[in-house]
Amino acid sequence: MASAASNIPGPARHDSQGIPMHAPGRRLTTATNPHKDIHPVPEKSHVGPDIEAYKAAHSDTVGPHSDAWWAQQARDNLTWIKDFSIVRTGGFPSAEELKEDNPNPPSTLPITWFPDGALNACYNCVDRHAFKNPDLTAIIYEADEPGEHQYITYGMLLNEVCRVANVLKDMGVKKGDTVTIYLPMTWQAAAAFLACARIGAIHSAVFAGFSAESLRDRILDCGSTVLITADEGRRGGRSVATKVIADQALKECGDANPVKHVLVLSRTGSKTVAEQHFTPGRDVWWHEAVSNVPSYCPPEVMNSEDGLFILYTSGSTGKPKGILHTTGGYLLGALLTVKYVFDVHPGDKFACMADIGWITGHTYIIYGPLSLGTTTTFFESTPATVFVSVLYLTIFFLSSMAYFNHYTRSISYPTKRYWETVSKHGLTQFYSSPTAVRLLRKLGHQHVQDHDLSSLRVLGSVGEPINPEAWNWFNEHVGKGECAIVDTFWQTETGSIIVTPLPGAIETKPGSATVPFFGIETEIVDSMSGKTLEGDNIEGVLCIKKPWPSIARTIWGDHKRFVDTYLRPYPGYYFTGDGAGRDEHGYIWIKGRVDDVINVSGHRMSTAEVESALLLHNGVAETAVIGTSDEMTGQAVNAFVTMKPEFSYDSAIEPALIKELVLQVRKIIGPFAAPKRIFIVTDLPKTRSGKIIRRILRKIVAGEGDQLGDLSSVAEPEIVDVIKQKVADSMSA
């Protein structure tokens, strides 16, 4: 294969800041695709050929046209059991409406889309495609074990979904009930989600990397009577004790445990789980249960506004929020963004490398691609395991043979899983995260170059800002300069992508998510005055002017918190919580969270959540958690901790204590939340009223301890120097 680098067409032009602007994807037409015989590509992208075409199309989807446009899209793309006569109700409340004494507060004026329409999400994702083309591959399941994969057709998926739906019904699950799903990345997770949707149950999927405590809290919050889980998960050559964690979570629910039945998928066939962690009467094996029920289950007639799923996400307080998405609007947003943002056409093989436990997995592994009737991918493995293992190894210092075995197994584990998967299946879209791209870049492009990646047309990035170095590497070494790169901005709450380039139409600039999606009206608002900022080259917070169909409807059991978090800060708008700028081309640049949310490798967590986990340690008196920028993971968790006076502690035990505290966070939240650094200090910088000043801690860790400015608000300023010294010592150790 010719050297990739020599063939890369350079960026077409630069903007006035000297930022390169890249063509919107050269592989989008048959004329420019050198591999048209092997991988058929569309004659033409859905939108294009340039930004003028986008602008014309976008203006027909916003302002006075927006409801009519969404209604047309809903009728053209979804199958309705009963057509709707009302398109939308509700909007973002004004300052007047938000007043405490308003007799009709916003909670009585909910946002609804297509409220008198009826449909079934599962029917839209499975049946209608299975009837037309039962042999079309719905799911490519690339197992963790290298070389093992499975193609699941729409016909097979319909069968499995119906059987699981019947099992759930037999377990007493009814329309409106919640079902918790704690599953690894096996394809059956799609059947579990869709079986719930089929019978009108609201699923609450919990990322399989969450701890027993996190799972417990989520089960208790939504009161599920059924839990769907697996014996074990597989990731990067390792087994994860999924069922053991699930059992622990249920035990910890105590008397309040609402779960009556546990459906257990046998992923690894673990003997230990079968013999020691299986509770007869409560636990049922998936394979046994599905073989004992009929192979068809009629889909339930659902109102467009009936709940589809709850997904817990972090906010700026310790308690995770159960974000509720409803049926018609969510599905429409998922479908349309897959179609336009990834320029999907018949015959495509779409791959989103996220986990089904996060919103990206919900929308871009399951609901979006399947509602569109395309082929989606379940990638169970990790992009590269060596790095993770070496880290793991460093933490545990080869302390036992078990770890040694783990090390030897993982070190030989391939670093090319992504690229093997792309070339083996001829994937056409590849949606990943900046952290994964940075990791792969670090490992070197030699891992990419031996694979035929010519089937790819669109490369996507999500979850955190992508730095230009990573963007350029993705473009050059994976896309060979010919793919459209889409840096997509969205959130658990937005349900689907809201700011993004559109292949074929939008020239891209590395690091910018570019323009609003169809039907989305973004505004950059001044964070202090709440006024909309006009013109270009401005910076503020990112807000949306009008509801779109896939916006979350509420926080489960706490609508006031929904209004207070998203609608009250800037009346008349939805507030994303992200800072953003707009440049001379009207392109949007996301600057990151402006609240107490940390984003580590695209995983959202609140500083308060990590602080609560640390405070559960019996020696900890106070803690302050901050996010700092990190070359690999985007942001990293740093914690400052003071110990209780009665906790006997000296510097000799500090390394052991820090290890204990890290384990504490892993145990309470999950391994992904583990602090990168913990500083044990004697006090924290506070205002006179006792509020911790995190700004000072952030600056010190960022190496800007000499730019702290005015410290007159600090109650005991001497502590600042002590902390500076402590941080300097720890960083150099």
- Shortest spacing between CB 459 and ligand WTA, in angstroms: 13
391 CB burial (10 A radius; 0-12, 13-18, 19+)? exposed
The reply on whether position 313 binds ligand WTA by CB under 6 A is: yes
Query: What is the total count of residues that contact ligand WTA (CB under 6 A)?
Result: 23
d(CA 447, CA 439): 12
Beta carbon nearer to ligand WTA, 603 or 617: 603
Could you give the string, one character per residue 558-597, with x where binding to ligand WTA holds by CB under 6 A and - elsewhere? Answer: ------------------xxx-----------x-xx----
Question: In angstroms, what is the minimal distance from the CB of 334 to ligand WTA?
Answer: 12
One residue of 54, 114, 286, 490 binding ligand WTA per CB under 6 A: 490
Minimum distance of ligand WTA from residue 117's CB (angstroms): 27
- 635 makes contact with ligand WTA (CB under 6 A): no
Q: Which of 326, 415, 491, 514 binds ligand WTA (CB under 6 A)?
A: 491
Among 213, 464, 523, 596, binds ligand WTA (CB under 6 A): 464
Q: Is beta strand 178-182 parallel, antiparallel or unpaired with respect to 226-230?
A: parallel
Distance CA 160, CA 156 (A): 6
In a 10 Å sphere around its CB, with 0-12 CB exposed, 13-18 middle and 19+ buried, how is residue 253 labelled? Answer: middle
Nearer to ligand WTA, 151 or 672 (CB): 672
Q: Which is nearer to ligand WTA, 239 or 467 (CB)?
A: 467
Choice between 200 and 322, CB closer to ligand WTA = 322
State yes or no: residue 462 binds ligand WTA (CB under 6 A): yes
Q: Least distance to ligand WTA from the beta carbon of 322, Å? A: 13
d(CA 490, CA 602): 12
Question: Residue 56 Cβ, how far from ligand WTA at the closest point, in Å?
Answer: 25
Strand partners, 73: none
Beta bridge partners of 522: 544
Beta carbon of residue 54, minimum distance to ligand WTA (angstroms, whole number): 18
Of these, 177, 221, 487, 523, which contacts ligand WTA (CB under 6 A)? 487
By CB under 6 A, residue 522 contacts ligand WTA: no
Lookup: tokens for 704: 């800007």
CB of 544 to ligand WTA, least distance (A): 12
As a whole number of angstroms, the distance between CA 592 and CA 491 comes to 12
Cα–Cα distance between 500 and 478 in angstroms, integer?
A: 20
Q: Are 426 and 455 in contact (CB under 8 A)?
A: yes
Tokens of 252: 């910890």
Token reading at 495: 């349900």
Position 477 contacts ligand WTA (CB under 6 A): no
Residues contacting 99, CB < 8 A, separation 6+: none
Closest contact distance (angstroms) between CB of 304 and ligand WTA is 23
Task: Select 45 or 360, whichever has its Cβ closest to ligand WTA.
Answer: 360
Q: Which of residues 332-391 bind ligand WTA (CB under 6 A)?
A: 358-360
* Long-range own/partner contacts, residues 285-291 (CB < 8 A, 24 or more apart): 286/164, 286/167, 286/188, 286/228, 289/167, 289/170, 289/263, 290/160, 290/163, 290/164, 290/167, 291/163
Only one of the segments 339-347, 486-494, 544-552, 655-663 lies at the binding site for ligand WTA (rule: CB under 6 A); that segment is 486-494
156: part of which helix (H) or strand (E)?
helix 154-170
Select 290 or 580, whichever has its Cβ closest to ligand WTA: 580
Distance between first and last Cα of the chain: 46
Q: Interface residues with ligand WTA (CB under 6 A)?
A: 313, 358-360, 462-465, 487-492, 513, 576-578, 590, 592-593, 599, 604
